[in-house]
Amino acid sequence: MIKRQMIVVKTYCFKLYKAKRNRKLHKVINIAGIIYNHCIALHKRYYRLFKKSLNIYKLQKHLTKLKKIGKFSYFKEVGSQAIQDITQRIDRAYKLFFRNLKHKIRTAPPSFKKIRKYKSFTLKQAGWKLLKGNIIEINKQKYKYFKSRDIEGIVKTITIKRDTLGDIYLYFVCETNENKVLARTGKSVGYDFGLKQFLTASDNEDIKAPLFFKQNANDIKKANRILSRKKKTSNHRRLAKIALARLHKKIANQRKDFQFKLANAICKKYALICIEDLNIKGMQKRWGRKISDYGFSEFIKILEYKAREIGSIVQKIDRYYPSSQICHVCGTKNPETKNLAVREWICAKCKTSHDRDRNAAINIWKVGASTFFGEI
């Protein structure tokens, strides 16, 4: 184990209690959406006239003047720091757009957003205040939130965000100095992603697939059936739609919780984790919903994030490497295993009996470890 002091950026997420006063935050998010669209309109007009991006400082100066006009005085409800954040995000998006144009990468400029689908606004140092217990003051209005844990470090920004269900969440981005204990176990492992097992390990410690969507399939069918029977534009249909969305959100939360806990456990146990560079889009075309239910791409992102945090290394091998076709004992290639129906096979040369996924995991481990450490 190695101890190292480092600046760590953490994000804490808390849900607001449901209350009538939350309408004020919904209103502010809607106004932030109007400001965003106004800025996009100005950028588009400026680009149409001069073929270049509008200067961010000119845009901010224009919005400051606009707030003093009676027609646009409601912009003040959002707060100057939140407006600055909107202009900065648009400016970054346009810089990326022009950089892509320069390198002849096909891309589209930032576009308008529907107000009801606009999700958030961000405050920095002003416009909010943490009070005792689980109370926060935003724009001189007090709100209660579900405080599941204490906030550590210096709060740099707070983002007020709503989801498709109308629930509001607080995201605190904090900076703290921590003495991180980095994992140096000396252990390495290879993982093969599969359809029967979530992860097949080179050291036989496999991870079963929980299949959260499949577990809740009957509830989803029932919710869809109820929704289809409701009259369009009616309030009952709106409520049925929310009930279905809440069910999908529950499944997403279950999957995310499982993936974070698993990634944390793997990174603490192994110093080197070898995986395939998966072609997720190709897999989804072939196996459809099951791949989405497994959430392989999300898990890889979480695994890489936890590895950076703990001090482990994720080594990806080439997606075209035939890991399931090569005997891990003698290196003989068996082209018959291209057929995915072949789950077990015997090597013609060394007569070793292979489980398809286990053999692939061992080959992934060997190639990943030899790439990182040199030949084993």
Instruction: Give the bridge partners for 138, in sequence order.
Output: 128, 141
Give backbone dihedrals phi and psi of 153, rounded to 5 degrees, phi first.
95, -170
3-state secondary structure of 68: coil
Confidence band (pLDDT; 50, 70, 90) for 61?
Answer: very high
The more confidently predicted of residues 349 and 121 is: 121
Q: What is the pLDDT of residue 66?
A: 92
Are 158 and 239 members of one domain?
A: no
Asked, for residue 259, whether it belongs to a domain, the answer is yes
Are 115 and 211 members of one domain?
A: no
pLDDT average, residue stretch 256-268: 92
Are 235 and 295 members of one domain?
A: yes
pTM recorded for the entire structure: 0.77
Are 65 and 175 members of one domain?
A: yes
Residues 6+ apart with CB under 8 A from 172: 11, 12, 13, 14, 151, 155, 157, 158
Are 125 and 221 members of one domain?
A: no
Cα three-residue angle 11-13-16, rounded to 5 degrees = 150
The more confidently predicted of residues 226 and 184 is: 226
Are 35 and 146 members of one domain?
A: yes
Query: Which of 314, 330, 353 marks a domain boundary?
Result: 314
Structural domain count, the chain: 2
Are 107 and 227 members of one domain?
A: no
The more confidently predicted of residues 283 and 206 is: 206
Asked, for residue 175, whether it belongs to a domain, the answer is yes
Asked, for residue 349, whether it belongs to a domain, the answer is no
Q: What is the pLDDT of residue 38?
A: 95
Q: What average pLDDT does the chain have?
A: 87
Per the document, the length of the chain is 376
Q: What is the pLDDT of residue 376?
A: 47
pLDDT digits (tens, 9 = 90+) for 130-189: 999 899 999 899 999 999 999 988 999 999 999 988 899 999 999 887 655 555 567 889
Are 154 and 6 members of one domain?
A: yes
Are 226 and 284 members of one domain?
A: yes
Catalytic (active-site) positions:
192, 276, 357
pLDDT average, residue stretch 284-312: 81
Are 177 and 243 members of one domain?
A: no
pLDDT average, residue stretch 116-139: 92
User: Above 70 in pLDDT, residue 271?
Assistant: yes
Q: Between β-strands 2-15 and 120-123, what pairing exists: parallel, antiparallel or unpaired?
A: unpaired
Q: What is the pLDDT of residue 180?
A: 56
Asked, for residue 346, whether it belongs to a domain, the answer is no
Most confident range, picked from 1-15, 116-130, 204-218, 326-340: 116-130
Asked, for residue 93, whether it belongs to a domain, the answer is yes
Share of the chain above pLDDT 70, in %: 93
Are 13 and 140 members of one domain?
A: yes
pLDDT average, residue stretch 324-338: 83
Q: What is the pLDDT of residue 193?
A: 86
Most confident range, picked from 99-108, 219-228, 334-343: 219-228
The domain in which residue 253 lies consists of 205-314
